[in-house]
Structure 1
Amino acid sequence: MAKLPAMLSLRHLLMLSLAVNVSLILRMVYEGEREGTNKNMEGYNRIIQKSRLVIPSTSFANSTRKDRSGGMDNVINLDQGDPTMYGRFWRQMGDRTTIIIPGWQSISYFSDPTSICWFLEPEFAKEVVRLHNVVGNAVTEGRHIVVGTGSSQLILAALYALSNHDAPQPISVVSAIPYYSSYPSMADYQKSGLYKWAGDAYTFDKDGPYIEMVTSPNNPDGHTRQSVVNRNQGLLVHDLAYYWPQYTPISFASDYDLTLFTVSKSTGHAGMRIGWALVKDREIAKKMTKFIELNTIGVSKDSQLRAAKVLKTVSDSCEEENSQGGQESFFKYSYKMMEQRWKLLRAAVDSGDLFSLPEFSSGFCNFLNQESKTQPAFAWLKCEGDIEDCESFLRGHKILTRSGKQFGASPKYVRISMLDTDDNFMQFIDRLSIIQN
């Protein structure tokens, strides 16, 4: 018998065996509804099988074969949080969200001239209130709704509205590290004399008024957040784009002065560019509306009408689920899909020692009426050991991510989108396993 090459040591053989086992485990998780599934996954597979909108299994073996026979040259872009994962659900919903807009509709700038937010479509406002009441994630009574072109425009509108326009110096804008990577550029891009980025909320020590951005669940690390600075002259903006049941337990109805939500992360319709703010103070709502008026002279009525239909369909699915023979709700479907993806990712990460992930606690979700897991829209992945620049390391393996430096954190971290298509996500899981083993 020929001798094994010297480079093929016992350690290499063990690692190769581990890689094969991990690949088999991942395949069983992803194709759990097939016969012969490991008994340890039977409970999970029964949950998936109960869904009336079952996620069609994509052959992990096929994606592996493709990746290892030339697919390693494919670039997997998980830098952006493009929520294409949700496309499967909405395709299966058929024409339930289809709308027809006659040519004469939406001609006027005005939706309701008597309203503070005069370009807010009443139908959209109604469905926003209904959805929050169904999910139980925000108080809507006594709030003014301001619609924006995504939550990005609303963030700028909030900074404009909360600033003192007569102050000699711009107000400081802070957020706790790791903060959303766009906050610094949003605050400083136009070099406004009203507000200025002042960095990490944990180290902020400047006297006077300030605006703190509180993102919860946090982008990028997924943890629940509260305000950090907590001084008398502080003004808070709660960015709750991810406070929905598929990402985190809904444990209370948010009751803050100014909260932001967006269609892109709640239902996956990022292309609509629709977000909304719930604002207690009438004057702040008026100033936010004025900013949007100056910025874009309102928000597309067509997008609002389509968003209203989507939100209505989501709320309907939640209410119909409880009726006999009702289809599984959007949020339960999405929760199971996120649960599956996080199981795959943790299995891949745990197969070696190059990477690590944050740990999250479970909690009771008032909407799902069960113990629920935190399973964020982004994975905050850390490269362990001697890998100092995780983004560059993964880019070398043709995986595009966003460096922790852009979030004010260490370059040993990267943010990875969990919301991409099934094919891209499975190629990522396979490639991560190959890198480790």
Structure 2
Amino acid sequence: MCGTENQAATNGTTKHLSSPSSSTDVVLNLDHGDPTVYESYWKRIGEKCTVVIKGSELMSYISDVRKPCWFLEEKFESVIKRLHRLTGNAVVDDRYVVVGTGSTQLFQALLYAITTTDASLGGTGGGPDQLPVPVVCAAPYYSQYAEETDYLRSGLYKWAGDAYAFDKDGPYIEVVTSPNNPDGTTREAVVIHNGDQGKVLYDMAYYWPQYTPITRPADHDIMYFTFSKSTGHAGSRIGWALVKDEAIARKMTKFIELSSIGVSKDSQIRAAKIMEVICEDYQDFKHHQNSNHFFEYARKLMENRWKRLREVVARSNVFSLPKYSQEYCLFHGECTESYPAFAWLKCKEEGVEDCEKLLQEYKILGRGGKRFGSDPSYARVSILSREEVFQQFLERLEIIKGNTN
């Protein structure tokens, strides 16, 4: 979810910089993945994505009661499938689409749906004898999974930490974030010894052509995506799941119905329009070297940022970054490496044990490795800020010098 970043860091009364400023006194808030990086593209697009909604439109809770997700707008469902077919990043045939208020709500809806539907995980309703189903993810894992899993204090499921350390018999749920948040690696499930007693959720928030090579259409029973990381429109609060099992889709819908009585139709229609514009721009071009097309623009932007960041880190004796191998991307039609949404910085300076604290000394807010089930010598830093903020981040990183003796 990964894909979802909803916890902005605070630091007393110090001003935070998540928008342009030339001041060196403000904190660069790169703790959360607010995708303002794409703002410049959508400004250039102009009015093509403008949506006008009349006062008499979209008034009902209901979209189509014949579908498991009865508040899903038909236009939105259609363009979701169209966008996945365009990018080739997911199989959409024979799947039910469930819309949620971002991937955070979808994650919680899935935990509820699985533990109240799948008999191998405790039955159909969570009786008094049902033990909470452990939820695990391979470290380093998305920092919010633990809090989101345990937030409702459900008796149906509970956070159980690192999937690599999970060796108990019995039911479990494994979350696979691929590409991974925070380190950008491609992931597969790691818990295999419990056979059919486990369920796997695939958080595919970053499986889009600007972040990683699209090597094959993802074809899992449960996958979920988010509008915020695919196009940058985090403020619309839209995500969707592709689910094979109708019973799980219906239970997810019930969870969302009880927690928010559906999902905003206004947001669905706006998202549908923006995604439709992306698809229409590609319609006349089989291969897409036009920088006016969204995914080309976004990939070149991310590639440029990673190039600049690696140049700064290469001159540093303090930090290191992961290396990503090149793979053939079906969408771009060429070999390319990954350009993740976050930099997984490692502080290699002797005597410095906490990378997050070191960055804070230079007024850079990142998120420390311990929150990801990893070592505090790591910190996650967002690459998704506006250009002015990213440039100031590079300038501050450049001046962090270690012990040269």
Q: Give TM-score, length-normalised by structure 2.
A: 0.89
User: Structure 2 CA distance, aligned partners of 1:224 and 1:149?
Assistant: 25
Aligned residue pairs, count: 369
**1:216 aligned residue:** 178
Question: Is the contact made by 1:351 and 1:436 (CA closer than 8 Å) also made in structure 2?
Answer: no
Question: Is the contact made by 1:318 and 1:330 (CA closer than 8 Å) also made in structure 2?
Answer: no
**For 2:222, which of 251, 255, 258 is the aligned residue?**
258
TM-superposed CA distance for 1:281, in Å, is 0.4
Q: Quote the sequence identity (%).
A: 53
Superposition pairs of residues 345-424 of structure 1, within 5 angstroms:
345-384=309-348, 385-424=350-389
* 1:192 counterpart = 2:144: no
> Secondary structure in 2 aligned to 1:134?
helix
User: Structure 2 CA distance, aligned partners of 1:187 and 1:304?
Assistant: 26
> Secondary structure in 2 aligned to 1:94?
helix
User: Structure 2 CA distance, aligned partners of 1:360 and 1:324?
Assistant: 24
TM-superposed CA distance for 1:320, in Å, is 3.9
User: Structure 1 CA distance, aligned partners of 2:287 and 2:396?
Assistant: 43
* 1:281 counterpart = 2:252: no
Which ranges in structure 2 are unaligned for 5 or more consecutive residues?
A: 1-20, 116-121
Deviations 1:346-379 (A, max 9, x none): 0111112100000100100000001111110000
**For 1:123, which of 56, 60, 75 is the aligned residue?**
75
Question: Is the contact made by 2:100 and 2:106 (CA closer than 8 Å) also made in structure 1?
Answer: yes
Deviations 1:272-294 (A, max 9, x none): 00000000001010100110001
**For 1:247, which of 206, 211, 236 is the aligned residue?**
211
From the superposition, tell whether residues 300 and 324 of structure 1 become closer, same or farther in structure 2 (CA, over 3 Å).
closer
Question: Is the contact made by 1:321 and 1:327 (CA closer than 8 Å) also made in structure 2?
Answer: no
**For 1:203, which of 165, 171, 182 is the aligned residue?**
165
Residue 410 of structure 1 aligns to which amino acid in structure 2? D
User: Structure 1 CA distance, aligned partners of 2:297 and 2:255?
Assistant: 37
Question: Is the contact made by 2:200 and 2:222 (CA closer than 8 Å) also made in structure 1?
Answer: yes
User: Structure 1 CA distance, aligned partners of 2:315 and 2:241?
Assistant: 42
**For 1:103, which of 55, 60, 64 is the aligned residue?**
55
User: Structure 2 CA distance, aligned partners of 1:111 and 1:319?
Assistant: 28
Residue 342 of structure 1 aligns to which amino acid in structure 2? W
* 1:138 counterpart = 2:93: no
User: Structure 1 CA distance, aligned partners of 2:108 and 2:333?
Assistant: 36
TM-superposed CA distance for 1:315, in Å, is 1.2
Which ranges in structure 1 are unaligned for 5 or more consecutive residues?
A: 1-65
From the superposition, tell whether residues 339 and 327 of structure 1 become closer, same or farther in structure 2 (CA, over 3 Å).
closer
User: Structure 2 CA distance, aligned partners of 1:352 and 1:273?
Assistant: 38
Deviations 1:19-75 (A, max 9, x none): xxxxxxxxxxxxxxxxxxxxxxxxxxxxxxxxxxxxxxxxxxxxxxx97xxx43221
**1:149 aligned residue:** 101
* 1:425 counterpart = 2:383: no
**For 2:305, which of 332, 335, 341 is the aligned residue?**
341
Question: Is the contact made by 1:215 and 1:225 (CA closer than 8 Å) also made in structure 2?
Answer: yes
User: Structure 1 CA distance, aligned partners of 2:149 and 2:287?
Assistant: 47
Deviations 1:168-212 (A, max 9, x none): 211000000000001000111111101000000000012110000
From the superposition, tell whether residues 252 and 357 of structure 1 become closer, same or farther in structure 2 (CA, over 3 Å).
same
Superposition pairs of residues 17-28 of structure 1, within 5 angstroms:
none
Residue 300 of structure 2 aligns to which amino acid in structure 1? K
**2:7 aligned residue:** none
Superposition pairs of residues 272-311 of structure 1, within 5 angstroms:
272-311=236-275
TM-superposed CA distance for 1:327, in Å, is 6.2
> Secondary structure in 2 aligned to 1:82?
coil
User: Structure 2 CA distance, aligned partners of 1:323 and 1:371?
Assistant: 14
Q: Give TM-score, length-normalised by structure 1.
A: 0.82
TM-superposed CA distance for 1:434, in Å, is 1.2
User: Structure 2 CA distance, aligned partners of 1:418 and 1:96?
Assistant: 27
User: Structure 1 CA distance, aligned partners of 2:64 and 2:174?
Assistant: 32
Question: Is the contact made by 1:251 and 1:363 (CA closer than 8 Å) also made in structure 2?
Answer: yes
User: Structure 1 CA distance, aligned partners of 2:112 and 2:104?
Assistant: 13
User: Structure 1 CA distance, aligned partners of 2:291 and 2:180?
Assistant: 31
From the superposition, tell whether residues 332 and 299 of structure 1 become closer, same or farther in structure 2 (CA, over 3 Å).
same
TM-superposed CA distance for 1:314, in Å, is 1.2
**1:84 aligned residue:** 36
From the superposition, tell whether residues 174 and 367 of structure 1 become closer, same or farther in structure 2 (CA, over 3 Å).
same
> Secondary structure in 1 aligned to 2:48?
coil
TM-superposed CA distance for 1:389, in Å, is 0.7
User: Structure 2 CA distance, aligned partners of 1:278 and 1:156?
Assistant: 15
> Secondary structure in 1 aligned to 2:47?
coil
> Secondary structure in 2 aligned to 1:411?
coil
> Secondary structure in 1 aligned to 2:49?
coil
TM-superposed CA distance for 1:221, in Å, is 0.3
> Secondary structure in 1 aligned to 2:176?
strand
User: Structure 2 CA distance, aligned partners of 1:332 and 1:170?
Assistant: 45
Residue 269 of structure 1 aligns to which amino acid in structure 2? H
